[in-house]
Structure 1
Amino acid sequence: NTHRHLMMPVAVGVPIVGSMALVLLVSLITGLVTYKKFWRGFTRLPQWRKGRQGEARRFTGDLHRFVGLWSIWFLALIILTGLWYVVEVFGGRAPPEPKPQVVTGAAQPIGPELDALIARAQAVDPDLRISGVSFPGEKGRGVLVVGQARAILVRDRANAIWVDPRDGKVLLASRGEQMNLHQRISEAADPLHFGTFGGLSTRLIWFLFGLLVTGLSVTGVMIYSLRMARAQNETRPRHGLLRLWVSFGPAAYPALGLILISIALTPGAVVAAAGG
């Protein structure tokens, strides 16, 4: 929730976070424009040469450009999906998945009863790789079984089977491949944004490039800070952290403010999630 909407109401937090996709887009375009013949940089490994004046700034710049080039595909995915989340908040959300009629008076099944209901759902769609089971509340819609099947790039909820816990009757079965184009685009946003579509392997790749892209913000500020120190001919350089903070410019204050707001709202969000 901190990542998605800074613990704020979704209608407020998602546009704030999603608008950062525009910042990434501008950074991506200007980076390619200012890096002349950037395609040559894909094979230009950063090298540290001892004794050269300004080597720290030069090496940091080379590293920044090298990582940035190899992260273009990842940045493009994050930008597109981030903008899509904003579109959804402002009315572009796809039609919801169908739901069965409400089931009343159904107790939560446990043990063999639950196993039988899951087996019933599996029989309806043998290709379903079950990943989650939800129970009906006081007024629920049956036991919900979700997972992955034949459709690619969809959330688990796209493949849903609802079973009546009273008699095991299948109330409704929906499949990802039956969705329309708008729904499929909406469903693809999360798997592409978080890299969950390929299991552990794609999660690890997304994690690695997430670290690299985060590192770009650090090296970018370092480069600007070193250039500022050089331009000002600092005879007594400021402390590195102070110079880094100054390098952020006016944007540092609202950014810090949003982080502090998110931290302040976290206890309330935890209590709400716990049902109290």
Structure 2
Amino acid sequence: MNNNNWRKPFWKLHLWMGLPFWLIIFFICITGTLAVVSYEITWLFNPGVRASGDAIFTTSELITKIQEQVPGAKIYSIETVEPYLAHLAYVSLPDSPFARVWIDAGTGIVGEVSTGHTFQSIIRAIHGWLMMPEIGGVFIGWYIVCIFSIPLFISLVTGLIIYRKFWKSFTKPKIHTNKGTRPLLISLHKVGGVWAVWFGLIISITAIWFLVMMVLREISFPFEDLNKQVVISKKDLPLLKVNEKMTLPNLDISIKKANEKIPNLDLVTLPSNAYEPLKVSGEKRTLFFRDTVYMNPYNNEILEVRLGTNKSFLSATATFMRALHVGNFGGFWIKILWFIFGLILSGLILSGMLMWTKRTAKRGNEDAI
């Protein structure tokens, strides 16, 4: 077998891993690319989610402001998503069990209340499970999306095999701009594939892991950490008079104490009942894992500290894989990097289909002659 013939089976495999599925894989990739920057796209078009500047109001003050401006709001959590975004609170309302409230910590003004679907929730639902309903307790859409990561992975690997001396595209990329449309597409496809292969492998391998994880869940495999629930002791609860309603004290002292233990915690989850602690969480200490400090808000005592790095191998891998897949582990510039290479990966799929179309059309013309 000469130097070219041994590549033919891989070329055919590369072709057949793409051609039958190109449209659905392209759709999944482009929606995933948009999902990475869904908050940033919302920021562009919706002034109500923008932060006006540095935070002036504390978390407790923001909670009070939300309750004043959004009547009947029961607040579950409030967090700093990104420095350029307003604080995001998840709440329930008298007419809606789930709503998002954006409040500017620099002005104390609620800029947006979303009770239905948002661009972010829609694009993530389309990408994640094609917005398909649950059938018999199984999210079929999740499986469909993840299964298509397998042909994507095979296409990437076979693409490197059939592209002779592909590494030269790193140092001397050749883009044919003056030889017609098909040579241009071929050169873009090759160079783009080489430069984006690392990204494509990350996306496909992490998606394959999601598929494995879903199967593990279906068979009730205990891959998640089963930590003992943290509760506030009955003796530490404040005594109430008859018919007196339990109200949370000012939470800022507890939040400050939690941040002294682990700096830069940015997600505050409020207790849903008297025995549940205040949870203060964040991912700033490590790139991939969330730390949580459990606080008794009535006496500001630290009940427990759970470091995100103290996980079982499978649980840590699941967390790590998700962060890698969605690109939410390094702030704005990692998102932009993921967005750019997501566009390149989507372009590879589209250019591959256009190359095949032009090749087929050329053959048809030759046969006609």
Please, what TM-score do these two structures have when normalized by structure 1?
Answer: 0.72
> Which 10-residue stretch deviates more, 203-212 or 188-197?
188-197
| Counterpart pick for 2:252 among 92, 95, 115 | 115
- 2:280 corresponds to 1:145: yes
- 2:171 corresponds to 1:45: no
Q: Number of paired residues?
A: 225
Matches within 5 A, 1:148-227: 148-154=283-289, 156=290, 159-227=291-359
Q: Comparing both structures, which one devotes a greater share of its residues to helix?
A: 1
Name the structure 1 match of 2:199.
Answer: 74
Q: CA RMSD in A?
A: 2.8
Name the structure 1 match of 2:121.
Answer: none
Do the aligned residues in 2 keep the contact of 1:87 with 1:93 (CA within 8 Å)?
Answer: no
Give CA deviations for 1:123-174 in whole Å, capped at 9, x if unaligned.
3x24x321211112247732211102544422x3xx0112233333333210
The letter for the 2-side match of 1:5 is W
Name the structure 1 match of 2:62.
Answer: none
Do the aligned residues in 1 keep the contact of 2:232 with 2:296 (CA within 8 Å)?
Answer: no
Name the structure 1 match of 2:154.
Answer: 26
In structure 1, stretches of 5+ residues that fail to align are 237-276
The letter for the 1-side match of 2:131 is M
Do the aligned residues in 1 keep the contact of 2:224 with 2:312 (CA within 8 Å)?
Answer: no
Do the aligned residues in 1 keep the contact of 2:176 with 2:183 (CA within 8 Å)?
Answer: no
Q: 1:223 to 1:200 in 2, by over 3 A?
A: same
Name the structure 2 match of 1:59.
Answer: 184
Name the structure 2 match of 1:258.
Answer: none
- Give the whole-Å Cα distance in 1 for the aligned partners of 2:292 and 2:181: 55
Deviation (angstroms), 1:41: 2.9
- Give the whole-Å Cα distance in 1 for the aligned partners of 2:226 and 2:215: 19
Among the aligned pairs, what percent are the same residue? 27
Deviation (angstroms), 1:103: 8.1
Match of 1:145, SS state, is strand
Q: 1:97 to 1:131 in 2, by over 3 A?
A: farther
- 2:355 corresponds to 1:231: no
- Give the whole-Å Cα distance in 2 for the aligned partners of 1:212 and 1:108: 52
| Counterpart pick for 1:101 among 212, 223, 231 | 231
The letter for the 1-side match of 2:337 is I
Q: Comparing both structures, which one devotes a greater share of its residues to strand?
A: 2
In structure 2, stretches of 5+ residues that fail to align are 1-124, 238-244
Do the aligned residues in 2 keep the contact of 1:195 with 1:202 (CA within 8 Å)?
Answer: yes
The letter for the 2-side match of 1:33 is I
Name the structure 1 match of 2:129.
Answer: 5
Match of 2:266, SS state, is strand
Match of 2:282, SS state, is strand
Match of 2:177, SS state, is coil
The letter for the 1-side match of 2:230 is P
- 2:213 corresponds to 1:88: yes
Do the aligned residues in 2 keep the contact of 1:144 with 1:163 (CA within 8 Å)?
Answer: yes
